[in-house]
Chains A and B, each alone.
Chain A
């Protein structure tokens, strides 16, 4: 694979990483810690929202982030012909 293609593949990978890690940061440090007090005025069922993000919600989002990444990278690998087999 040519250098230019490799560059492009890597740039796309980095952009995807940037977006996903931003979401990772916002749900855990943002909603779960920094804005938890503010979010606590809202509720889901018996949960205060900030508390829910810190002890439940962020973890569900983490799982989704990884599987979105797996999915997107598998497509990207195929597109640039760098997948295995």
Chain B
């Protein structure tokens, strides 16, 4: 059986499991729809959080990014795991004790203001929406490359599946399908990594294999450093570029992770405060399994790729090479007409004059898209067809689980924060539930539409999502818990400052014609959320000190969320 047949079988089987789970876990009340009835066990919630969190970007793109960035890629590894420490220690237990459905709910109640609630709801909508469009695109790519169906058909299939279990099951259905999706995606990530680790360094644990030795006795990482410098690139394991930006980007990703509404809302679904702390721990363990494997995959894939293609005749390339060329994600152009592939750093002047020109090379001839590294890796390493099929199913699981979590945030922001808490407070529970189902359905369709016709900005918006979450939500929530005196005026002024500053900076450098020389302290738009967060905090504290303290009942809420005892089920009323 070929790759295509295996892919059909494995993808169909996993989809059947998701649908089956969704039918078993239907939601009957708003509480079940928004927070799964608040009775999810810490380990199950940890699994669901991990699947919720690890998106198509983590699964498909991250290892590829790292393999081209080397040490610099640490920003993703540290940034997307370190945020869980902040979540577990600073946010999850207190928000669970607070016991409402959504993040805007917390902001609205803690800062006794409908305006604050609305600002938060709009931020949540914006952040989640930009994020979900990227997931839909990931679904389309996986389908079109491996099932050889049309890109658009791929997205349509994705829409139908997500719609089915999100509309039917709400948070309850999503939670339990995410558990299944976590299992699929982690197996799909580990199996090829273990195979390749055994093949390359003879160690079945990729985390150890990365530090292992090749058959010729050299360390794998030393070998890759050598291969890289031989081609005019920087050493893989060390950094030559600025540490300041690395620091800021890492911090923005960490703070953004801790501020993303679809992650935070997962901690409303457990029974107790102690469970919220514990489930953040489980979530990080389950995420760390993938995140510590990713750098190993990055190095295996890069080493294999360089050995396979470099200075080899184009005609002798294996079949995967041609298939990826068809997708446009791999491009070869024989600039010097010698029929061989020269892949090297043509932006390194001394390398070009010393090595490339004397050899008759006329520029780098191979363009490799980051996104293909994980999908192509098993093929490059010549693993069996079923392993490749498994990776496709894993990629789909990661995209679908994250999309579902985000869609729920979108739906609850509209039906709960905007409709129930603002426009139509007298709506019945049944009416609210129906509204939630309708909005989730509409949101899936819109997300699918933008997945098919991506607006130009989509590729760049992940930076927005993290930067804006870091610069808006994070300080408002932290100050709301740890600084009793923080008031409405300070919080709103801070959030608006953080949002406007970060948004304007990103906009200026992405579309406004700003050039890298104008970066403040050399910080790229990806890292500016950290500075936005600092500004937000300063403005909030200054404005707060000049305005009256919050009313006594709000201060009592803060006192109350600081102790675990007496946490009831999450409630919207």
Interface residues of A (CB under 8 A from B): 1, 6, 9-10, 13, 17, 20-21, 24, 28-29, 32-34, 36-37, 40, 44-48, 51-52, 54-56, 58-60, 62-63, 65-67, 69-70, 73-74, 77, 80-84
B559-573 contacts to A, CB under 8 A, are: 559, 562-567
B539-572 contact mask (Cβ, 8 Å, vs A): 1 or 0: 0000000000000000000010011111100000
Residue of A nearest to B244 (CB): A33
Q: When the two chains form their complex, are residues B247 and A29 in contact, meaning their CB atoms are under 8 A apart?
A: yes
Residues of A within 8 A of B213 (CB): 46
Q: When the two chains form their complex, are residues B89 and A36 in contact, meaning their CB atoms are under 8 A apart?
A: no
Q: In whole angstroms, what is the CA distance A19 to B274 when docked?
A: 20
Q: In whole angstroms, what is the CA distance A37 to B72 when docked?
A: 12
B273 at the interface (CB under 8 A from A): yes
Q: In whole angstroms, what is the CA distance A81 to B562 when docked?
A: 13
Q: When the two chains form their complex, are residues B280 and A66 in contact, meaning their CB atoms are under 8 A apart?
A: yes
B243-269 contact mask (Cβ, 8 Å, vs A): 1 or 0: 100110011000000000000000000
B221 at the interface (CB under 8 A from A): yes
Q: When the two chains form their complex, are residues A33 and B221 in contact, meaning their CB atoms are under 8 A apart?
A: no
Binds A, one of B75-83, B101-109, B311-319, B415-423: B75-83
Q: In whole angstroms, what is the CA distance A47 to B219 when docked?
A: 8
Q: When the two chains form their complex, are residues B211 and A69 in contact, meaning their CB atoms are under 8 A apart?
A: no
Q: In whole angstroms, what is the CA distance A78 to B564 when docked?
A: 10
Q: Would you list 8 pairs from A and B whose C-beta atoms are within 8 A, ordered by A residue? A: A9-B563, A24-B82, A33-B78, A33-B243, A33-B246, A46-B219, A58-B82, A59-B78
Among B71, B73, B90, B567, contact of A84 (Cβ-Cβ < 8 Å): B567
Q: When the two chains form their complex, are residues B221 and A32 in contact, meaning their CB atoms are under 8 A apart?
A: no
Among A62, A69, A81, contact of B81 (Cβ-Cβ < 8 Å): A62
Residue of A nearest to B251 (CB): A29
Q: A20-B89, A29-B250, A33-B246 are in contact. Are A51 and B71 (CB under 8 A)?
A: yes
Q: In whole angstroms, what is the CA distance A60 to B74 when docked?
A: 14
Q: When the two chains form their complex, are residues A74 and B274 in contact, meaning their CB atoms are under 8 A apart?
A: yes
Q: When the two chains form their complex, are residues A47 and B82 in contact, meaning their CB atoms are under 8 A apart?
A: no
Among B74, B220, B563, contact of A32 (Cβ-Cβ < 8 Å): B74
Beyond A55-B73, A63-B281, A63-B288, list 20 extra A-B contacts (CB 8 Å): A9-B563, A10-B562, A20-B85, A28-B82, A34-B247, A36-B239, A44-B211, A54-B71, A55-B66, A55-B77, A56-B295, A59-B81, A59-B288, A59-B291, A60-B292, A62-B81, A62-B82, A62-B84, A62-B85, A77-B565
Q: When the two chains form their complex, are residues B220 and A46 in contact, meaning their CB atoms are under 8 A apart?
A: yes
Q: In whole angstroms, what is the CA distance A46 to B292 when docked?
A: 16
Q: A46-B213, A55-B77, A84-B564 are in contact. Are A65 and B85 (CB under 8 A)?
A: yes
Q: In whole angstroms, what is the CA distance A58 to B75 when docked?
A: 12
B228 CB, nearest partner CB in chain A, Å: 13
Q: When the two chains form their complex, are residues A66 and B89 in contact, meaning their CB atoms are under 8 A apart?
A: yes
Q: When the two chains form their complex, are residues B278 and A58 in contact, meaning their CB atoms are under 8 A apart?
A: no
Main secondary structure of the interface of A (DSSP, over half): helix
Q: In whole angstroms, what is the CA distance A85 to B188 when docked?
A: 40
Q: When the two chains form their complex, are residues A77 and B274 in contact, meaning their CB atoms are under 8 A apart?
A: yes
Q: When the two chains form their complex, are residues A54 and B77 in contact, meaning their CB atoms are under 8 A apart?
A: yes
Q: In whole angstroms, what is the CA distance A6 to B93 when docked?
A: 17
Residue of A nearest to B79 (CB): A28
Q: When the two chains form their complex, are residues A52 and B211 in contact, meaning their CB atoms are under 8 A apart?
A: yes
Q: In whole angstroms, what is the CA distance A66 to B559 when docked?
A: 23
Residue of B nearest to A81 (CB): B565
Q: In whole angstroms, what is the CA distance A54 to B557 when docked?
A: 39
Among A9, A46, A66, contact of B221 (Cβ-Cβ < 8 Å): A46
Residues of A within 8 A of B238 (CB): 37, 40, 48, 51
Q: In whole angstroms, what is the CA distance A70 to B565 when docked?
A: 15
Q: When the two chains form their complex, are residues A34 and B243 in contact, meaning their CB atoms are under 8 A apart?
A: yes
B88 at the interface (CB under 8 A from A): yes
Q: A44-B211, A51-B221, A69-B277 are in contact. Are A84 and B77 (CB under 8 A)?
A: no
B210 at the interface (CB under 8 A from A): yes
Q: In whole angstroms, what is the CA distance A42 to B288 when docked?
A: 24
Q: A17-B90, A62-B284, A70-B281 are in contact. Are A46 and B222 (CB under 8 A)?
A: yes
B204 at the interface (CB under 8 A from A): no
Q: In whole angstroms, what is the CA distance A57 to B562 when docked?
A: 32
B237 at the interface (CB under 8 A from A): yes
Q: In whole angstroms, what is the CA distance A43 to B274 when docked?
A: 39
Residue of B nearest to A62 (CB): B85
Residue of B nearest to A16 (CB): B89
Q: A29-B247, A33-B250 are in contact. Are A59 and B277 (CB under 8 A)?
A: no
Q: A6-B563, A66-B281 are in contact. Are A47 and B210 (CB under 8 A)?
A: yes
Residues of A within 8 A of B295 (CB): 55-56
Q: When the two chains form their complex, are residues B277 and A47 in contact, meaning their CB atoms are under 8 A apart?
A: no
